[in-house]
Amino acid sequence: MIRAGEMAARKKPDTLRTATLAKTRIFHIEQVDLRFANGAEVSYERLRGSGRGAVLVVPMQDDDTVLLIREYCAGMDRYELALPKGRMERDEAIVDAANRELMEEVGYGARKLTHLTTWTVAPNYLSHTIHIVLAQDLYPQRQAGDEPEEIEVVPWKLSNLPALLTRADVTEARSIAALFMTRELLGKEN
């Protein structure tokens, strides 16, 4: 058995070959052939991200009210209630991307933006990161975005988070985790 402290000292596997299997406007699928220190050779497939990452914004209208959005999610073929999010543009700072997405999707800007953390989604298969940003001291500010239809904004009390999780249209794990993180940070547990 390997202890946790010993894991950090492990050598990453050697990359023997990387090949593109398919590439579209959004997706880049690669095969990566690796050799581990014990001699085992394995082929993995992964979705390669753009390298820029994305932002997920937790917009707080006041100390207890978060602004969620309801938008169509093509992957699930339904409308979902979640936090606003979007990809970062080339050379865009994390907080600038968060404020832009907030203006495009929610119709507010934020005077105070705090980068809380950076998460991965499925690190075995996807080389994508998402930066979680807390947005406070909001002011009305609309900016044109790339959304195909107007997005509905739904205020929700963090102190009533358990009721939100009973809804069939609230399933996006990143949003749920960020809401719990924010609730703990702001001390809004009921």
What CATH number is attached to the domain comprising 93?
Answer: 3.90.79.10
| Residues 30 and 63 reside in one and the same domain | no
| Residues 70 and 9 reside in one and the same domain | no
| Residues 159 and 98 reside in one and the same domain | yes
| Residues 36 and 115 reside in one and the same domain | no
| Residues 82 and 110 reside in one and the same domain | yes
**CA angle at 75 for the pair 72 and 78, rounded to the nearest 5°:** 40
| Residues 34 and 84 reside in one and the same domain | no
| Residues 31 and 62 reside in one and the same domain | no
| Residues 37 and 58 reside in one and the same domain | no
| Residues 171 and 118 reside in one and the same domain | yes
Res. 190: pLDDT tops 60: no
Q: How far is residue 43's CA from residue 165's CA, in Å, rounded to a whole number?
A: 38
Cα distances (angstroms) measured from residue 145 to each of 33, 100, 105, 148, 189: 39, 9, 7, 9, 34
Number of domains in the chain: 2
| Residues 44 and 70 reside in one and the same domain | no
Predicted confidence band of residue 145 (pLDDT cuts 50, 70, 90): confident
| Residues 127 and 157 reside in one and the same domain | yes
Provide the H-helix boundaries in 49-115: 94-105
Q: What is the pLDDT of residues 59-76, one digit of tens each?
A: 999 999 999 999 999 888
Q: What is the pLDDT of residues 23-72, one digit of tens each?
A: 988 788 999 999 999 999 999 998 887 677 899 999 999 999 999 999 99
| Residues 136 and 173 reside in one and the same domain | yes
What is the pTM assigned to this prediction? Answer: 0.87
Domain that holds residue 68: 54-186
User: What six digits make up the tokens of 171?
Assistant: 């399933």
Q: What is the pLDDT of residues 160-177, one digit of tens each?
A: 999 999 999 999 999 999
